[in-house]
Structure 1
Amino acid sequence: MTVPRDGRLHRIAVLTGHNVLLRRRDPAHFVSYLVMPMVLMLIFKGMLGEPTQAVTGLLVMFSVLSMADVATATLTERTWHTWDRLRATRATVPEIMIGKAVPVFAVLVVQQAVLLVYGVLAVGMRLSGPVWPLALAVTAWSFALLCVGTAIAGVVRSQGELSTLCNIAALSVSALGGALVPYALMPAWAQAVAPISPGYWATAMLQAAVRGDLAGTAGPAAVLAGLGLAAGAFACRRLSKGWGRAAVA
């Protein structure tokens, strides 16, 4: 069955292809968010003596930093003043968001997969179970990051605001979530507030997946999926209403 050229799937395919091209033309952040954690994993392994903590913790931190790339995929349309042109086409807001989401989601998945493979081969992390729980963990975390990043794009008005917010979020989410320091070594007040951080659930989920703990993986994955759905719904409503369209270059 062929899809008509003016059909929904065709519009999504065109938007996806365009955004793939944009990702390919600017791979700098993707490369830096691979190289930096690779170096730091070796250092943190020597400091902590625990490969799993070093790998999963830095993976969470640098994947949160990647939210800037997620948000940029939408924010650039506003700073380039091309968002209204997209909205004037037949493409609906969900179609536009899907077209932008697919390439970025692929980048997030590839980033985490490469770091996990590197963690096994170079850092010494050992998997105690099947690989599919790790695949579930990576998918759930990438989905949450994708939706939250898109929601952020509907709130900030400039690249400066975006960089500031994502940098603060990366450090806060990582530190409070037990990504940088094992949860058991955190102060009591930090342990009490840790569950409000998505990084807490991401770190716990990834470490459970490495251990082969299916229940420990599924619970946090459900929490992150719920966060992603809520953020995605907010992003759709925000962008469909046109709130905050005016962005400064």
Structure 2
Amino acid sequence: MTRFSVLVRHSAVLRLRDPGHLISYAVMPMVLMLVFKPLFAASVADGPTQAVLGLLVMFTVLALSIVGTSMLSERTWNTWDRLRATPATAGELLAGKAVPVFAVLVLQQAVLLVFGHYVVGMPAPVSPVLLGFAVLVWSLTLLAVGTAAATLVRSHGELSAVCDVGSLVVSSLGGALIPAAMLPGWAQAIAPISPGYWAMTMLRGAVEGQSSDVFRGAAILGGLAVVAGIVAVVRLDRGLSRLRG
């Protein structure tokens, strides 16, 4: 527990010293929610909900860069090898890096949901407990996938490409930018392969009180998080290569 608390405190300090990504990924979707609200209101019945949840999913996927950077920064500074030389296990190192970033992801979603309800006009969730559960599951999934990506890429440029392209693909196929029912037939057929599709299903189900949608999405995203977590731990145990550039 002493090692874990030290790692958490170290990671929290690093995040607080560089809050730029968190601020931008909270402010930009707020602006876009207000811009897209009339468009969605004119095209779908639940326009405000679509605008809020769609942009939330898109910008939380973009926030994978926050997750990845928390690890790549250590590799850039050549301090990761020093951490690995300590008695801390790979699991302890991952958990210590993960807790502050997990808090950032939850905070980002909470801010966007509160803004979406009081400013954009999204209906209040039927079950706040279900919505809180959905936010935690989605944050855990993003954390696991982002950490796995950070152990696989070899430069900050590669991480940016993965996050930028991934966010567009996940958001587009998931129905975040356009409701899934309005996608072309071929896109609707492959939409379930996108984590964004299940995030939208889970979050919308939480807002509408559809527990079956919430738990189905949570099961699929939870499985993805487990697989990504295993990849991250295995990569750390085998050792990470030097970064390029």
TM-score range, shorter chain: over 0.9
Counterpart-to-counterpart distance in 1, 2:63 and 2:127 = 27
Which of residues 4, 21, 25 in structure 2 aligns to 1:12?
A: 4
1:25 aligns with 2:14: no
Provide the rounded CA distance (Å) in 1 between the counterparts of 2:84 and 2:39: 51
Residue among 147, 150, 166 paired with 2:147:
150
Q: How does 1:1-249 map to 2 (within 5 A)?
A: 9-49=1-41, 50-242=47-239, 244-249=240-245
Gaps of 5+ in 1: 1-8
Q: How many residues align?
A: 240
CA contact (8 A) 1:127 1:212 kept: no
Shift of 1:128: 4.7
Q: Given residue 101 of structure 1, which amino acid in structure 2 is its aligned partner?
A: A
Q: Following TM superposition, by how much is the alpha carbon of 1:162 offset from its aligned partner in structure 2, in angstroms? A: 0.6
Aligned twin of 1:6: none
Question: Secondary structure, in 3 states, of the residue corresponding to 2:152?
Answer: coil
CA contact (8 A) 1:64 1:170 kept: yes
The CA distance in 1 between the partners of 2:145 and 2:125, in whole Å, is 31
Q: What is the CA distance between 1:77 and its match in structure 2?
A: 1.2
The answer on whether the counterparts of 1:15 and 1:99 sit within 8 Å (CA) in structure 2 is: yes
Q: Which amino acid aligns with 2:36?
A: F
Supply the distance in 2 between the matched residues of 1:205 and 1:113 (Cα, whole angstroms). Answer: 15
TM-score under structure 2 length normalisation: 0.96
Preserved CA contact (<8 Å) 1:79 1:248: no
Whichever residue aligns with residue 63 of structure 2, its letter is S
Unaligned runs of 5+ in 2: 42-46
How far apart are 1:72 and its partner, in Å?
Answer: 0.8
For each residue in 1:34-89, what CA deviation from the matched residue of structure 2 results, as whole angstroms up to 9, or x when unmatched?
Answer: 00000000111111100000000000000000001101111111111111111111
Deviations 1:164-202 (A, max 9, x none): 110000000000000000111100000000000000000
- TM-score normalized by structure 1? 0.95
Asked whether the 8 Å contact 2:125–2:131 carries over to 1, the reply is no
